[in-house]
Amino acid sequence: MIILTKDGSHTISIPEMKVTYHSVHGAIQESQQVFIQAGFYGLHAIAGPGQLCILEVGFGTGLNMLLTAIEAEKTERNIYYAALEPNPLDEAEAVSLNYCRLLDREDLQEDFIRVHRCPWNKSISVTEHLLLHKSDKTLQAFQHATLFNLIYFDAFAPVAQPELWTKEIFEKLYKLLLPGGILVTYCSKGVVRRNMQAAGFTTERLPGPPGKREMLRATKRMVN
């Protein structure tokens, strides 16, 4: 079910799970602060030139991918964007989302619709700077030969998907990152931070988006 959040942007609600895909306090605001500012630009500031490889856990509405495509265009960064979503949205809901209009990027609406209609488990060029590979595999089943610079961890909250916030999951994600790579998530629960640290990450709390005091950014140690 599509609902309106406080910044005017849409999110999807799943009442039976008592979850939404994005914050009801502002879907676009949350994604901008957590995944773009703390993630994309946090990495862009320290990464050398060349393509960035991003993994998103929880593709959902495609909002994080859309915002990344816009920033890739601005920075002229080439992005390989792998996205995991074992339970895709209904296409009719996905193509009704208002993100392109609110971002004043209606020129990307056709590309955004194409993203939701394209085949799974194949790579497509979304824009000049972003190559997308959607996978309908679970994170537990996901295997990838290439390591990533950045992980957007956008799974449903631990209360809804506790199996995705364990030490074992963060160990897997740690192995999928290049040295110096980072993982960002909206969740700041103490048990999540401790599981990240137990998996080898260095963690930091950052100011959260509207409705949340803090978020987490985790970094894989550089090789000496």
Give the model's pLDDT for residue 224. 61
Cα separation, 186 vs 207, in Å, equals 10
CATH architecture of the domain 26-219 equals 3-Layer(aba) Sandwich (3.40)
Question: Apex CA 145: angle with CA 80 and CA 223, to 5°?
Answer: 90
- Render pLDDT for 119-173 as a digit per residue (tens, 0 to 9): 999 999 999 999 999 999 999 999 988 899 999 999 999 999 999 999 999 999 9
The mean pLDDT of 59-71, rounded to a whole number, is 97
pLDDT of residue 90: 85
Question: What is the average pLDDT score of the chain?
Answer: 94
The DSSP code sequence of 25-82 is T-HHHHHIIIIIIIIIHHHHTT--SS-EEEEEE--TTSHHHHHHHHHHHHHT--EEEE
Q: What are 30's two structure tokens?
A: 């949350």
What span, in angstroms and rounded, lies between the C-alpha atoms of 221 and 181? 8
| Alpha-carbon dihedral angle through residues 61, 56, 75, 187, given to the nearest 10 degrees | 90
In the structure encoding, which two tokens stand for residue 171, read together?
């160990």
Task: Write down the domain spans for the chain.
Answer: 26-219
pLDDT band at 22 (very low <50, low <70, confident <90, very high): very high
Which tops the pLDDT comparison, 139 or 16?
139
Give yes or no for residue 43 having a pLDDT over 90: no
pLDDT at 40 over 80: yes
pTM summary value: 0.95
Confirm if 114 and 108 have CB atoms less than 8 A apart. Answer: no
More confident site: 47 or 159: 159
Q: What is the pLDDT, as a whole number, of residue 74?
A: 94
49 has pLDDT over 80: no
Query: Rg of the chain over CA atoms, in angstroms?
Result: 16
d(CA 152, CA 81): 10
Name residue, tokens 């949340």: 212
